[in-house]
Chains A and B, each alone.
Chain A
Amino acid sequence: MHTEARESELDVSLKGVTASATHGESERLLLIEPIKGLVPLQLREIWSHREVLYFLVWRDIKVRYKQTALGATWAVIQPFLTMLIFAIFFGRLAKVPSDGLPYPLFSYAALVPWTFFATGLNQASNSLVSSSNLITKVYFPRLVVPMAAVFAGLLDLIIAGSLLLLMMAYYHHGATVHAVWVPALVFLALITSTGFSFWFSALNVKYRDIRHVLPFIVQLWMFATPIAYPTSIVPARFRAVYALNPMAGVIEGFRWAMLGSGHAPGVMLIVSSLIAFAVLISGAYFFRRMETTFADIV
């Protein structure tokens, strides 16, 4: 009788709900149905699969440096070489201003969060396609896949960040108390990267063109972000548009927090955060909507 009541309860309460699990005292019921309309995000389900996320991040990190002669040094080489090139061409030859800081320090401090963002976006956008063997064979919330690809970059960020500290020591540039903002700024970069990854990875399943377009987008994006130059050289009338790029706020903020350059980019950061969260949430919903077709078309 007890279960009978439960079943009818299920019929009423789960009608129209997609693949949701109700936790009973001793049993749980899972409803599998076609999906119509807006798909709920099921954040609780993602939370309950946090170990899958953990293991995917762990796998990505392990695999990335296995069988590479230089191992984790690669995390430093890429931003460091870019910094050298920037320092020669922009710093020395073009004499791009650097807010009164040594140019190498100025550009490297920006390249650390940027590399994290760009690598994460690139990896995550291909993540669904490259884990097609998982997607067609086992169920878990698919949002975890691009998330893992972005999160895996955090270790590289820490390694590249340590070099920044060494460089600061080399230039006798002391850290400021603003450094307490660094974790929040890294979090913002993470949100931005994850949000755009949701969009691009879901689109990439259906339109493989994304994979070819993305490197180009990322390159353009880098020049629309104050990495090789300071925001101060952007004409004032374009600043409002410029701030719409959430990475602009992150980079300016990071430089300010680590090196104490310029003023706290307060307004810029608020705009960046709003946009980053909007992209994250819309991306998550878009992803969930597209998710139902992943296994069929990937």
Chain B
Amino acid sequence: MSFAVRTEEISKQYHIGMGRMPNLREALTSALSSAKGYASRLLARRPAEARNTFWAVKDVSLEIRPGELVGLIGANGAGKSTLLKMLSRVTVPTSGRAIIRGRVGSMLEVGTGFHPELTGRENIFLSGAILGMSKVEIRRKFDEIVAFSEIEKFIETPVKHYSTGMYLRLAFSVAAHLEPEVLFVDEVLAVGDARFFAKCINKMRSLHASGMTITLVSHHMFLIQTLCTRAICMSRGSVLFDGDPLRAIDSYRKSLDEAAQAVPAASRVDLKGQGRIQVLQLEPLGEWASTTEPYPDSGIKLTFVADAEPNTSVGFRVAVSSMGSFCYYAFYSDPVQVPASGRVTCELQIPELMLLPGHYRIFGGMLRADKVNHFLAEECLQIFVRERGPAPAFDNGSGGADNLFWNRGIWTLPTDNDSEKQIEVQGERYR
């Protein structure tokens, strides 16, 4: 099988406090004491000192096939950017190696090579050349770049007078018009407003469609889910998961969650006052067996018990959220008077989860009814929504992952040819 990018146990070691290299005085002192020492200090990579070093990337071996659009995810410091920097030849690996087939382009930053004193036009040429385009190529694509960035009127204005949005748009446009065979993108897509963001995403899609091999780092899970054909989750310099984007996102969220759960409940600032809530039961609604692995269209029934101060008024909230902090939906109850026993039992039915396959969290919370967001107690459950049956025949390969929700729809399809054509036309316009 042919590859576009192959890494073989590639690793990068950094010295902690890289900035504190020996200064000239120290180097000169050692020069006086030993000429050989001076030479080796200057020329040789100093021997690795185990205490003052760490591996930003450690033994990463992977293969990316031509035409793949791979997402690279992971918490800050997981080694994503270092890996891209090595593959872009900005920094040299400490050990291991990589082979790349084809012309390489990289967007590790928005506005590489931009100079504030120069005009938009001048910066297009400067940045374009630094990113690897020839003068002829830039001239050919100039109008396209300007049109994409939507700053036609200001093209002769020095970029220091641009708004941040204009600057980022122009900078992104230059980089997006590179035509390498292998492209590395580091967290630069989320520039400009929502509309320009959508434009950037579409640009990525069309580059991918043209056959370019793209590897992109993003913290934007929705983007990874909708754009990528494959995702790699990194943690502490090594690969945690490599494969289906949805699963990679799950593994990323779990790795984040592990860190999040280390925070003890007592130090949670959103829980105020005394109170306890406990989920007694999570039952299936309808004919499915497992309570923790429902299907997208499954229903569930939650029963929980709460302890609160007698004769106060409380409300309940159940929220369904992603493994991160994105809340899909929440249910609020009417206020309930706490009886003298101090114990309330209640039940919530969700007839259809409408969730896409993946990991989710369900929060059961109790609030004071007379105060906004005054949580008395909260408990969290985890569920995993399973896939039901194979993906549709004409699926784009992302497993229906272009979406945020699952929902039920009922089609009535025409049978004669004329009306079929009409639908195609509509689809085109819609897109």
A residues at B contact (CB < 8 Å): 3, 10, 19, 27-35, 51-52, 54-56, 58-59, 62-63, 66-67, 133-140, 206-207, 209-210, 289, 292-293, 295-297
**Are B92 and A34 in contact, with the CB atoms below 8 A?**
yes
**Are B99 and A296 in contact, with the CB atoms below 8 A?**
no
Task: Give CA–CA (A137, B111) in the complex, Å.
Answer: 10
Chain A residue contacts of B89, Cβ below 8 A = 19, 30, 32, 139
Given A29-B100, A29-B101, A207-B27, CB of A295 within 8 Å of CB of B122 = no
**Are B109 and A32 in contact, with the CB atoms below 8 A?**
no
**Are A30 and B92 in contact, with the CB atoms below 8 A?**
no
**Are A136 and B90 in contact, with the CB atoms below 8 A?**
yes
**Are B118 and A32 in contact, with the CB atoms below 8 A?**
no
Smallest CB-CB A-B distances: 7 pairs: A209-B24, A139-B89, A55-B129, A32-B98, A207-B24, A30-B100, A33-B97
- Count class of interface residues, chain B: 35 or more
Q: What distance in Å separates the Cβ of A68 from its nearest Cβ neighbour in chain B?
A: 11
**Are B118 and A63 in contact, with the CB atoms below 8 A?**
yes
Task: Give CA–CA (A135, B25) in the complex, Å.
Answer: 26
Within 8 Å of chain A (Cβ to Cβ): is B85?
Answer: yes
Of B10, B45, B104, B108, the residue contacting A30 (CB under 8 A) is: B104
Of A19, A31, A51, A133, the residue contacting B129 (CB under 8 A) is: A51
**Are A27 and B18 in contact, with the CB atoms below 8 A?**
no
Q: What distance in Å separates the Cβ of A51 from its nearest Cβ neighbour in chain B?
A: 5
Task: Give CA–CA (A52, B132) in the complex, Å.
Answer: 8
Task: Give CA–CA (A297, B21) in the complex, Å.
Answer: 8
What number of residue pairs across chains A and B have CB atoms under 8 A from each other?
116
15 A-B pairs (CB sep. < 8 Å): A3-B2, A29-B101, A30-B100, A31-B98, A32-B87, A32-B93, A34-B92, A34-B95, A59-B115, A63-B115, A66-B117, A133-B112, A138-B109, A138-B112, A138-B131
Task: Give CA–CA (A51, B129) in the complex, Å.
Answer: 7
Q: What distance in Å separates the Cβ of B103 from its nearest Cβ neighbour in chain A?
A: 7
Within 8 Å of chain A (Cβ to Cβ): is B19?
Answer: yes
**Are B18 and A296 in contact, with the CB atoms below 8 A?**
yes
Given A67-B117, A134-B130, CB of A206 within 8 Å of CB of B97 = no
**Are A55 and B126 in contact, with the CB atoms below 8 A?**
yes
Of A27, A33, A34, A137, the residue contacting B112 (CB under 8 A) is: A137
Chain B residue contacts of A27, Cβ below 8 A = 101-102
B residues at A contact (CB < 8 Å): 2, 10, 14, 18-19, 21, 23-25, 27, 43, 45, 85-104, 106, 108-109, 112-113, 115, 117-118, 122, 125-126, 129-132, 134-135, 158
Residue on A nearest B129 in the bound complex, by CB: A55
Chain B residue contacts of A56, Cβ below 8 A = 130
Chain A residue contacts of B158, Cβ below 8 A = 66
**Are B90 and A137 in contact, with the CB atoms below 8 A?**
yes
Chain A residue contacts of B21, Cβ below 8 A = 206, 297
**Are A59 and B93 in contact, with the CB atoms below 8 A?**
no
**Are A139 and B93 in contact, with the CB atoms below 8 A?**
no
**Are A31 and B134 in contact, with the CB atoms below 8 A?**
no
**Are B117 and A32 in contact, with the CB atoms below 8 A?**
no
**Are B92 and A51 in contact, with the CB atoms below 8 A?**
no
